[in-house]
């Protein structure tokens, strides 16, 4: 790995509220190459805010500061809105959790993919249409032509999520941020989605940030995992070495899940140490 | 304790007719814990809702304690059977305090000694009396689910219907709630029917389970069989495999028609 695709150094996200300032992300640093990076944590750990901050999607009144936040050498903090617009959806894209809320309900799936493509590439309608259909086929839609003309409410959750992935990948991004892309889906469907993401990452050499609460899933899918707790990265490790996790929080997260293999009763629970949040 | 014979649940008529549950039968003995597993749209929650009267019984029989249930269900029924819902953020009244949430079932059933019962119910689910006058928004997800369980248990039912009781919760909180449910069942001799899409959760809490798909019962099996991956049905097998996490090497066994 020569130059990292994404450099994040001391990233902080603060929300100034009436009741005081809440720091949702507190000094997160990592580098990403063309690999699969997982960010795992429980609700409120700041994992989603980290993903959003990279794209500049922190909702107001949030404030983002960082020592360095750069994508392919471009400083995202000082970049103009215009530059950000060309990056977002073009070279960096994001797959959200629930296709029900993140697709446009009054546009057909095909139109939405065409719109995404034409926003970033100078292409005629015919070409955009061909690209959209090819993309729908790449995400294993059985009948791309039919799905193209459907509205989001006419497709199942799994198909909606595949349509969103198609839309995000049609511009051939270098970095894909997937925020709980399979949490709203059934297990067998989510395995299918992961297989598609996996193929696309290895075929195109894309960088992937996979944000999830599911430690087991992330460790079986990603190369490297960051474990977040209370806005900080408490541990970074190779996914295959997850069992040798050192931090008590990671260990606790691992052991508190019931498994089919072992019948542990009662399940060990997590005793949160205030020191972890320091 | 609970006997379901050839249950059918149909919603809508004519063009909009949907058969959500087709010919499902199972029997749960007293003190047993029984799981219903399946993906979304499999009808597992609808079975639960049909038992407690939130969905119609279009055909077939549902009997509790040897007696067939009546529609609408009487007060006696709700003294025996209570339900805990999936999302504690949605199932507790946002403008009622914990005290009011817990006293409502007592008032409906004309129970006396509400104060002592409420305090006892809070103790049973591992919360102190300091939680009594809080509103749901002042509680964490796990605490809310504890309140929902306390509300269900305050009438001393024999059967608890659990509809995905932990899927809205974080992993560490899920462990706490599963331990609590385990302990309460042992202490009070409760009968559980648990609906979940998570095989590991079902195997943890239940002895026997029914795998459902598209409204039909696919296979009845035991937690012990699940743990040793003994499933005769290929769909059950694929669910077991998917629950082990993502596998790069796995063949396309998961690409079953959606």
pLDDT tens digits for B12-63?
Answer: 888 888 899 999 999 999 999 999 998 888 899 999 999 999 999 999 999 9
Tell whether A271 lies on the interface with B, counting CB pairs under 8 A: no
Tell me the domain boundaries of chain B. 2-219
Predicted confidence at residue A2, as pLDDT, reads 61
Q: Which residue has the higher pLDDT, A183 or A167?
A: A167
Using CB atoms, which residue from B227, B242, B252 is nearest to A263?
Answer: B227
* Nearest to B193, CA basis, from B19, B88, B44: B44
Asked if the structure places residue A67 within a domain, the reply is: yes
> Within a domain: residue A22?
yes
A40 found inside a domain: yes
Min Cα separation B56/chain A (Å): 25
pLDDT in tens, B79-105: 999 999 988 888 899 999 999 999 999
Confidence band for A243, pLDDT divided at 50, 70 and 90: confident
Convert B163-221 into a string of H (helix), E (strand) and C (coil): ECCCCCCCHHHHHHHHHHHHHHHHHHCCEEEEEECCHHHHHHHCCEEEEEECCEEEEEE
Position A254 scores a pLDDT of 85
Interface probe with B: pick from A44, A99, A191, most Cβ of B within 10 Å: A191
d(CA A257, CA A242): 14
Question: Smallest Cα–Cα separation from A228: which of A207, A208, A211, A242?
Answer: A211
Q: What is the pLDDT of residue A22?
A: 87
Cβ-defined contact of A216 to B203 (cutoff 8 Å)? no
Q: How many domains are contained in chain A?
A: 1
Q: Is the Cβ pair B203, A215 closer than 8 Å?
A: no
Asked if A223 is an interface residue toward chain B (Cβ–Cβ < 8 A), one would say no
Contact check, Cβ <8 Å, A268/B175 = yes
Helix orientation angle between A187-204 and B234-243, rounded to the nearest 10 degrees: 60
- Which of B138, B145, B201, B246 to mutate to probe the A interface, most A CBs <10 Å? B246
User: Which parts of B16-164 are beta strand (E)?
Assistant: 18-28, 33-37, 59-64, 67-68, 81-84, 159-163
Q: B247 versus B223: which is more confidently predicted?
A: B223
pLDDT in tens, B127-184: 989 999 999 999 988 899 999 999 999 999 999 999 999 988 888 889 999 999 999 9
User: In angstroms, rounded to a whole number, what is the distance separating the alpha carbons of residues B145 and B142?
Assistant: 5
> Is A195 contained in some domain?
no
Contact B114, B132 (CB under 8 A): no
pLDDT interval class at A241 (50, 70, 90): confident
Looking at the complex, report in whole angstroms how far the Cα of residue A4 sits from the nearest Cα belonging to chain B.
25
Strands in A142-265 per DSSP E: 175-179, 207-212, 224-229, 232-238
Q: How many CB pairs under 8 A join A and B?
A: 101
Asked if B204 lies within 8 A of A263 by C-beta distance, the reply is yes
d(CA B222, CA B203): 8
Give the per-residue pLDDT at B171: 86
Is residue A235 in a domain? yes
- Give the Cα-Cα-Cα angle B43, B221, B180 (nearest 5 degrees): 75
B109-130 pLDDT, tens digit each:
999 899 999 999 999 999 989 9
Q: Identify the DSSP state of A88.
A: B
- What's residue A242's pLDDT? 82
CB A92 within 8 A of CB A174: yes
Closest Cα to residue A95, out of A175, A176, A15? Answer: A176
Instruction: Name the residue of chain B whose CA is nearest to A217's CA.
Output: B245
Better-predicted residue by pLDDT, A203 or B33: B33
What's the pLDDT tens digit per position in A148-162?
999 998 888 888 888
Q: Which tens digit of pLDDT belongs to each residue from A98-132?
A: 788 889 999 999 999 999 999 988 888 999 999 99
Residue A74: pLDDT over 70: yes
Please tell me the pTM assigned to this model. 0.84
CB contact under 8 A, B172 and A253: yes
Q: At what angle do helices B114-124 and B98-108 cross, to 10 degrees?
A: 120
Q: Is the pLDDT of residue B258 over 80?
A: no
Dump pLDDT digits (tens) for B188-209.
999 999 999 889 999 999 999 9
| A43 pLDDT above the threshold of 90 | no
- Record: contact B258-A198, CB cut-off 8 A: no
Instruction: Name the percent of chain A lying above pLDDT 70.
Output: 99
> From B40, which residue of chain A is nearest by alpha-carbon distance?
A186
Query: Which residues, at least 6 apart from A59, have a Cβ–Cβ distance to it below 8 Å?
Result: A52
pLDDT at position B253? 43
Paired tokens of B56: 């119609």
Domain that holds residue A260: 1-91+211-277
Domain B2-219: CATH superfamily, name plus number:
P-loop containing nucleotide triphosphate hydrolases (3.40.50.300)
Pairwise CB contact (< 8 Å): A158 & B258: yes
Structural domain includes residue A23: yes
Q: Is A148 helix (H, G, I), strand (E, B) or coil?
A: helix
Contact B195, B48 (CB under 8 A): yes
Nearest to B246 among A213, A217, A258 (CB): A217
User: What is the spatial distance between Cα A193 and Cα A161, in angstroms, rounded to a whole number?
Assistant: 8
Tokens of B148: 């929902």
Nearest chain A residue (CA) to B258: A189
How far apart CA A68 and CA A211 sit, in angstroms, is 21
Are A94 and A167 in contact by the 8 Å Cβ rule? The answer is: no
Q: Read off the pLDDT of residues A22-41 as tens digits, 9 standing for 90 and up.
A: 899 999 999 998 889 999 98
| DSSP reduced 3-state for A98 | coil
Any domain includes A9: yes
Contact yes or no for B183 and A266 at CB 8 A: yes
The single-letter DSSP state of residue B13 is -
Over residues B225-245, the mean pLDDT reads 86
Question: Cβ contact (<8 Å) for B141 and A252?
Answer: no
A19 touches chain B (CB under 8 A): no
Give the model's pLDDT for residue B254: 43
pLDDT of residue B249: 62
A130 three-class SS? helix
Class of residue A272 by CB neighbours under 10 A (exposed 0-12, middle 13-18, buried 19+): middle
Instruction: Please give, one letter per residue, the 3-state secondary structure of A103-118.
Output: CCCCCCHHHHHHHHHH
In the numeric block, the tokens 């929650």 are attached to B45
* Mean pLDDT, residues A160-174 taken together: 89
Helices (H), A6-108: 47-55, 81-87, 99-102
Partner B, chain A 149-188, Cβ-Cβ below 8 Å: 156-159, 186-188
pLDDT at B255: 42
Q: Decide if A186 and B171 are in contact by the 8 Å CB cutoff.
A: no
My answer on whether omega of the bond before A61 falls inside 30° of 0, hence cis, is yes
- Among B225, B251, B227, residue whose Cα is nearest residue B238: B251
Domain of residue A245, CATH code = 3.40.50.300
Query: Is pLDDT at B257 greater than 90 in this prediction?
Result: no
pLDDT of residue B252: 47
Residue B72: is the preceding peptide bond cis (ω within 30°)? yes
């Amino acid at each position: 790995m020569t130059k990292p695709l994404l450099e994040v150094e001391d990233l902080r996200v603060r929300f100034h509220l009436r009741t005081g300032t809440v720091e949702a992300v507190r000094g997160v640093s990592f580098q990403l190459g063309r690999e699969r990076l997982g960010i795992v944590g429980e609700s409120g750990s700041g994992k989603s805010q980290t993903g959003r901050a990279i794209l500049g999607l922190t909702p107001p009144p949030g404030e983002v500061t960082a020592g360095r936040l750069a994508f392919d050498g471009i400083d995202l903090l000082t970049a103009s809105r215009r530059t950000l617009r060309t990056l977002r959806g073009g070279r960096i894209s994001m797959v959200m959790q629930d296709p029900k809320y993140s697709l446009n309900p009054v546009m057909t799936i095909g139109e939405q993919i065409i719109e995404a493509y034409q926003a970033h590439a100078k292409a005629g309608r015919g070409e955009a249409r061909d690209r959209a259909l090819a993309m729908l086929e790449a995400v294993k839609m059985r009948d791309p032509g039919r799905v193209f003309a459907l509205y989001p409410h006419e497709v199942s959750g799994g198909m909606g999520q595949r349509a969103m992935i198609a839309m995000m990948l049609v511009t051939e991004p270098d970095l894909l941020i997937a925020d709980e892309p399979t949490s709203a889906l059934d297990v067998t469907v989510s395995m299918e989605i992961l297989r598609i993401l996996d193929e696309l990452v290895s075929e195109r050499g894309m960088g992937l940030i996979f944000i999830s609460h599911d430690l087991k899933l992330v460790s079986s899918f990603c190369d490297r995992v960051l474990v977040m707790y209370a806005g900080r990265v408490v541990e970074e490790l190779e996914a295959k070495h997850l069992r040798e996790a050192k931090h008590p929080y990671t260990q606790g997260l691992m052991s508190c899940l019931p498994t089919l293999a072992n019948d542990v009763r009662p399940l060990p629970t997590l005793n949160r140490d205030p020191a972890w949040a320091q | 304790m609970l006997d379901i014979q050839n249950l059918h649940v149909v919603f809508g008529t004519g063009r909009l007719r949907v058969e959500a549950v087709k010919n499902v039968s199972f029997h749960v003995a007293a003190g047993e814990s029984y799981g219903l597993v399946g993906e979304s749209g499999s009808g597992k929650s609808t079975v639960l809702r049909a038992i407690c009267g939130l969905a119609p019984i279009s055909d077939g029989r549902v009997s509790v304690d040897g007696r067939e249930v009546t529609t609408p269900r009487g007060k006696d029924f709700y003294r025996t059977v209570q339900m805990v819902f999936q999302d504690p953020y949605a199932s507790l009244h946002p403008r009622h305090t914990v005290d009011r949430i817990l006293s409502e079932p007592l008032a409906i059933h004309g129970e006396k000694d509400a104060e002592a019962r409420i305090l006892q119910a809070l103790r049973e689910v591992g919360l102190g009396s300091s939680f009594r006058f809080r509103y749901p928004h002042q509680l964490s997800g796990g605490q809310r689910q504890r309140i929902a369980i306390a509300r269900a248990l305050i009438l001393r039912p024999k059967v608890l219907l659990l509809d995905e009781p932990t899927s809205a919760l974080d992993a560490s909180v899920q462990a706490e709630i599963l331990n609590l449910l385990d302990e309460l069942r042992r202490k009070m001799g409760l009968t559980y029917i648990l609906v979940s899409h998570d095989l590991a959760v079902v195997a943890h809490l239940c002895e026997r389970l029914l795998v459902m798909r598209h409204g039909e019962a696919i296979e009845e099996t035991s937690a012990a069989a699940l743990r040793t991956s003994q499933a005769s049905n290929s769909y059950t097998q694929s669910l077991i495999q998917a629950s082990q996490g993502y596998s790069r090497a796995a063949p396309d066994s998961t690409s079953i028609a959606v």
